Amino acid sequence: MMARALELAGKGLYSTTPNPRVGCVIAQGETVVGEGWHEKAGGPHAEVVALGQAGAQAAGATLYVNLEPCNHQGRTPPCVDLIQKNKIHRVVAAMVDPNPQAAHGGAKLAAAGIGFEHGLMEEEARELNVGFVSRMTRGRPWVRMKIAATLDGRTALADGRSQWITGAEARKDGHRHRESRRPTADRTRRGDAAPAAARPGRQPPRNSGSGKNYRRRECLDFLRR
């Protein structure tokens, strides 16, 4: 069930920032009665979507979620209150919430008589939200660096000719990481939020300036976030 919750959470990989990616599964025994995922900041949380789908079948069920249910009023109400209202019997979270404003939802659930435990697939949950965890615990973003160079430390031939050093899979992976952290405003307005790497044959947009200066500006913009 937790593996499915993580799979659902991954659907928000390119859309939930600055919120974490969260997926939720509600089950009666081995039967799933509701599931959902957090799609975007300001939208319904994963637990809210799953509880809405489960309806009356949520009573007495177990709720699996990759991040401890929130315990504060932000743009949406606390998830712990809705969990209590729907008479969930037990909550299993992969990890506790590192956000001090939203944390301690598990303690509130336990105080209300709802079973709470965490730690199931915690490593996978942390990896999925590594940037969020870094911001909450270290006060800075999680930076991934991709460097492509030949064995002699060069990025082009002696005559200035330059072409990809890495293969297609490495380029796709690099694009995926970049797009997940920096979706461009123009693609968002068009509703075309798919990562550039997922569109065969299409390269990420390039600045009209020199490649060197563009990459420098891009890195600086990234680190300021």
The residues carrying an active-site annotation are 47
- As a whole number of angstroms, the distance between CA 35 and CA 44 comes to 13
**Count of C-beta atoms within a 10 Å radius of residue 170:** 13
**Count of C-beta atoms within a 10 Å radius of residue 196:** 16
- As a whole number of angstroms, the distance between CA 84 and CA 105 comes to 11
> Can you tell me whether residue 12 is helix, strand or coil?
helix
Q: Are 83 and 69 in contact (CB under 8 A)?
A: yes
What tokens appear for 2 in the block? Answer: 């937790």
What tokens appear for 173 in the block? Answer: 């992976």
Burial class (CB in 10 A: 0-12, 13-18, 19+), 28: middle
Pairing of strands 62-65, 31-37: unpaired
Q: Are 171 and 197 in contact (CB under 8 A)?
A: yes
